[in-house]
Amino acid sequence: MKRIANILILLFIPSLLIACNNPEDEEYFIYSSNFTDQLIECLDNEGIKYKLDDNENVLIKRKDNGKAVMRCA
């Protein structure tokens, strides 16, 4: 019985990790259309990776949105 429980646990943990890995979290989206030095400095200080598009929109990864809103808004 204990062996069956261990097998189930070993099967459950990897499937949980796979289910929690959301590829959409790694997608960039427009966080701000207002490019400022203060915003870029804050994102840098918080370790949030960003990109600038051709229209100078600031793009960040979806997974960093909560942190950016709390720290850099």
Q: pLDDT by residue (tens digit) across 51-73?
A: 999 999 999 999 999 999 999 98
In a domain, 44, yes or no: yes
In a domain, 43, yes or no: yes
pLDDT tens digits for range 11-61:
666 665 555 666 677 899 999 998 899 999 999 999 999 999 999 999 999
In a domain, 7, yes or no: no
Q: Total structural domains in the chain?
A: 1
In a domain, 16, yes or no: no
Question: With a threshold of 0.85, does the pTM exceed it?
Answer: no
What letter represents residue 19's amino acid? A
SS3 31: strand
The H or E element spanning position 29 is strand 28-32
